[in-house]
Chains A and B, each alone.
Chain A
Amino acid sequence: MADLILQELERETMRTDIPQFYPGDTVSVHTRVTEGSKERIQVFRGTVIRICGRFGRGSFTVRKVSSGIGVERVFPFNSPSIAKVVIERKGKVRRARLYYLRDRIGKAARIRDKTVEAKKKKPAKD
Chain B
Amino acid sequence: MPKGILGRKIGMTHVYRQGVQIAVTVIEVEPNPVVQAKTAGGKDGYDALQLGYGRKSVRRVNKPMQGHYERAGVEPKRVLREFRGMNGFEAGEAVSAGDVLAAGDLVIVRGRSRGRGFAGVMKRHGFSGHKASHGTHESFRGAGSIGASADPSRVWKGKRMPGQMGNAVTAVKNLEIIDVIGEKNLVLVSGAVPGSRNSIVEIIKSE
Contact = CB atoms under 8 A, between A and B. Distances in A.
Contact of A79 (B11, B16, B26): B16
Given A56-B13, A57-B13, A57-B14, A6 B26 contact: yes
A69 B164 CA distance: 51
B186 interface: yes
Contacts of B21: 76, 79
Contacts of A78: 14, 16
Given A2-B198, A5-B26, A5-B186, A81 B13 contact: no
Contacts of A81: 19
B176 interface: no
A81 B16 CA distance: 10
B197 interface: yes
Contacts of B94: none
Given A3-B11, A5-B26, A80 B186 contact: no
Contacts of B10: 2, 5-6
Contacts of A76: 14, 21
A116 to B, nearest CB: 38
Contact of A13 (B11, B15, B28): B15
A6 to B, nearest CB: 5
Interface string A33-70: 00000000000000000000000110000000000000
A10 B19 contact: no
Contacts of A13: 15
B13 A6 contact: yes
Contacts of B8: 2
Contacts of A80: 16, 19
A84 to B, nearest CB: 16
Nearest to A8: B184
B12 to A, nearest CB: 8
A96 interface: no
A57 B11 CA distance: 13
A71 interface: no
A111 B14 CA distance: 34
Contacts of B19: 80-81
Closest 6 A/B residue pairs (Cβ): A6-B11, A2-B10, A2-B197, A80-B19, A5-B10, A80-B16
Interface of B: 8-11, 13-16, 19, 21, 26, 28, 184, 186, 197-198
Given A2-B198, A76-B21, A78-B16, 13 more contacts: A1-B198, A2-B9, A2-B10, A2-B11, A2-B28, A2-B197, A3-B11, A5-B10, A5-B26, A9-B186, A10-B13, A13-B15, A76-B14
17 contacts: A2-B9, A2-B10, A3-B11, A5-B10, A5-B28, A9-B13, A9-B184, A9-B186, A10-B13, A13-B15, A57-B13, A57-B14, A76-B21, A79-B16, A80-B16, A80-B19, A81-B19
